[in-house]
């Protein structure tokens, strides 16, 4: 997954004959979409259904979709599809007809500051998760555990070091190296997505 650029993946999807591209797309974005739908208050099963519906909507439209960073960001397009799907599901849950939302309704919902904050938080978490998966092959398990306990969970460096059989300096070094690499990976991902 780490060797496929965002633009290359979208081009492969647009061709419509690459099942591996859809698996990769799913692996990259399903957690993002599931988290976003959960923020709307959907139950876990509904989040899974909504994620699948979003992916199906994308599958139907991707042949017509031409990725052009000059026209806008892919993440905005993805958010619009996600908002549209969630609103349709919420309407159905209320017993309302499953009418298509107008472009104006979707734009209004997508521009809502709360919805925008939810999307941005999920987008940030998506980038961290994606970058952390890449770190698994670059750093030892011990370094990753030290980073998780000390930098992520806020455990004191001395306790982390004692539990993992490291020196406090090794814990600090693991945090520093991983944070530096994590920042570089996230910056590259953001740049790549336009």
pTM above 0.85, yes or no: no
Q: Which residues of the chain have pLDDT under 50?
A: 1-3
The span from the CA of 124 to the CA of 56, in Å, is 24
Report pLDDT for 3.
Answer: 45
Report pLDDT for 4.
Answer: 54
> What are the structural domains of the chain?
1-112 (1.10.1740.10)
Instruction: Give me the DSSP letters along 102-165.
Output: PHHHHHHHHH-HHHHHHHHHHHHHHHHHHHHHHHTTTS-HHHHHHHIIIIIS---HHHHHHHHT
Report pLDDT for 63.
Answer: 67
Report pLDDT for 2.
Answer: 45
């Amino acid at each position: 997954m780490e060797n496929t650029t965002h633009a290359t993946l979208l081009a492969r999807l647009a061709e419509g004959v690459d099942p591996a591209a859809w698996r990769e797309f799913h692996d990259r974005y399903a957690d993002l979409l599931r988290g976003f739908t959960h923020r709307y208050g959907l139950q876990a099963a509904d989040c899974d259904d909504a994620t699948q519906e979003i992916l199906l909507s994308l599958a139907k439209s991707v042949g017509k979709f031409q990725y052009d960073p000059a026209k806008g960001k892919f993440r905005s397009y993805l958010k619009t599809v996600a908002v549209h799907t969630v609103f349709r599901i919420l309407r159905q849950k209320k017993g309302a007809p499953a009418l298509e939302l107008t472009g104006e309704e979707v734009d209004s919902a997508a521009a809502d500051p709360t919805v925008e904050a939810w999307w941005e938080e999920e987008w940030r978490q998506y980038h961290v998760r994606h970058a952390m998966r890449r770190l698994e092959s670059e750093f030892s398990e011990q370094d990753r555990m030290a980073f998780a306990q000390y930098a992520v969970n806020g455990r004191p460096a001395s306790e982390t070091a004692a539990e993992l059989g490291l020196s406090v300096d090794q814990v600090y070094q693991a945090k520093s190296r991983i944070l530096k690499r994590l920042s570089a990976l996230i910056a590259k991902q953001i740049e790549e997505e336009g």
